[in-house]
Amino acid sequence: MTFRDALALGMAREMEADPSVFVFGLDVPDHKRIFGSTRDLVEKFGPSRCFGTPLCEDALTGIALGAAISGLRPVLVHIRADFLLLTMNQIGNMISCLRYMSGGKVKVPLVIRAIIGRGWGQSAQHSKSLHGMFAHFPGLKVALPSRPQDAYSLMRAAVRDDNPVMIFEHRWLYDVSGVVDEKVKVELGKASVIRKGAALTVAGVSWMNVEAMKAAEVLARRGVELEIVDVRSVAPFDEETLIRSVERTGHCIVADYDWVHAGFSGEIATRINYRCFGKLKKPVERLGFRHTPCPSTRTLENLFYPSAIDIIRTAEKMLGLSETDLAGEEFFSYEKNFKGPF
């Protein structure tokens, strides 16, 4: 099953189980179905439970909150995470703290989905991640599935949670296929070791797990085994799983899908440095976007984004290895699959 289908299935199962769940947002029920991720919902559950809206992201976020404190379980969808910037007031000043301000009198069960854009020259306004920014606000949970099983299971956990949960979905992940067992439950707030290895730990966020798997495949051919921890949740953050890994490997690369400066990679690195003080063989390295807005042209875009190659080169440097010859390797395969216009 693809990641997009897993998202749709996760929502569908919760909608079947609980009539108070509904899905809404701009263009949610149109024929494109948010890149397919809301497929079949309007047919199965009707237009009162899956509907499109005017362009008013700020109000929609407040509307989700109002519905949530009235006992419903809204799922609000944004086709680009960048549009969340219009909703920060409701998220930061209301959703994240209304329960606290009321002394625990209200409950805020809602889900906000947002897609991280990449592909076809999305440029500066359609490519942000922002997960770290939201992780910063007490009262929010923030998850980033990178595999179909997690897309399905974390979606279900998010809808069932009695608190606000944000889910960030990288656009390229939508075409990733994998086995989805409908019975598998995944708790929010837990990392997952998606590859075992003794040489070096990669803490991967979202799409960077795919890049890390590719890097691991390349390095494994010369006997260097990366361990990959899919962070999956940045709030709450599962420090323990990561620490256990780094305590064994003594090396860590944090591969975030965001700008490095003042981003979530610093939080991860700080915690590792703190807990593994004296046990690290090399300082924790961080990978992320270059510190510029995202350019439009492919040439510069490829320099802007971190990739498997960066992971490989960084690992080699940390481990004191010579540079692997990458001449025959196929990288960026998803980008090649991706075609315009959007």
Partner 1 sequence: MNSRDEALRLYRKLLLARLSEEKIRELYPSNEIKSPVHLGIGGEAIPVGVCHCLPENSKYFGTYRNHTLYLTLTGDTDGFFAELYGRASGAGGGKAGSMHLMAPDRGLMATSAVVATTIPVAVGAAMAARYRGSDDWVAVFFGDGAMEEGVFWESLNFACLHKLRILFVCEDNGLAIHSHDTTRRGFRSIPESVGGFRCHVLSGDGSRLSTVVEKTREAVTRMKKDSQPAFLHLTYFRFLEHVGPKEDFAAGYRPAPTEAERGGRDPVAIFEGELKSLKCSRPEMDAIRSELAKQVDASSRKAQAAPSPSPPDLLTDVFS
Ligand X SMILES: Cc1ncc(C[n+]2csc(CCOP(=O)(O)OP(=O)(O)O)c2C)c(N)n1
Nearer to ligand X, 129 or 192 (CB): 129
According to the binding rule CB under 8 A, does residue 235 interact with a copy of itself?
yes
Between 82 and 227, CB nearer to ligand X: 82
DSSP secondary structure of 8-52 = HHHHHHHHHH-TTEEEESTTTTSTTHHHHTTTTHHHHH-TTTEE-
Name which of 29 and 145 has its Cβ closer to partner 1: 29
The yes-or-no answer on residue 126 being catalytic is: yes
Question: Which of 55/326 has CB closer to ligand X?
Answer: 55
Choose the contact partner of 148 out of ligand X, partner 1, a copy of itself, none; CB within 5 to 8 A by kind. none
Closest CA to 12 of 48, 44, 56: 44
Q: Which of 167, 128, 145 is nearest to 304 (CA)?
A: 128
Applying CB under 8 A, does 82 fall inside the site for partner 1?
Answer: yes
For position 259 contacting a copy of itself by CB under 8 A, the verdict is: yes
Give alpha helix (H) positions in the chain.
Answer: 3-17, 33-36, 41-45, 57-69, 88-90, 98-101, 131-135, 148-160, 208-220, 239-249, 264-275, 298-304, 308-319, 333-337
State how far the Cα of 319 lies from the Cα of 281, in Å rounded to an integer.
9
Residue 171: contacted member of a copy of itself, partner 1, ligand X, none (CB under 5 to 8 Å, by partner type): none
Binding to partner 1 (CB under 8 A) within 89-148 occurs at 89-90, 93-94, 98-109, 120-126, 138-139
267 is catalytic: no
Which residue's CB is nearer to partner 1, number 71 or number 223? Answer: 71
CB of 266 to a copy of itself, least distance (A): 4
Which residues of the shown chain bind ligand X in the complex (CB under 6 A)?
A: 26, 55, 57, 83, 86
Query: What torsion do the CA atoms of 152, 75, 174, 92 make, to the nearest 10 degrees?
Result: -110
Can you tell me the distance from the alpha carbon of 79 to that of 47, in angstroms, rounded to the nearest whole number? 19
Which of 293, 313, 319, 338: binder of a copy of itself (CB under 8 A)?
Answer: 293
CA distances from 254 to 81, 98, 167 (A): 22, 33, 20
Binding site for a copy of itself (CB under 8 A): 82-83, 85-86, 88-89, 91-93, 96-97, 100-101, 123-125, 128, 132-133, 135-139, 234-235, 237, 258-259, 261-267, 269-271, 273-274, 277, 280, 282-284, 286, 291-293, 295
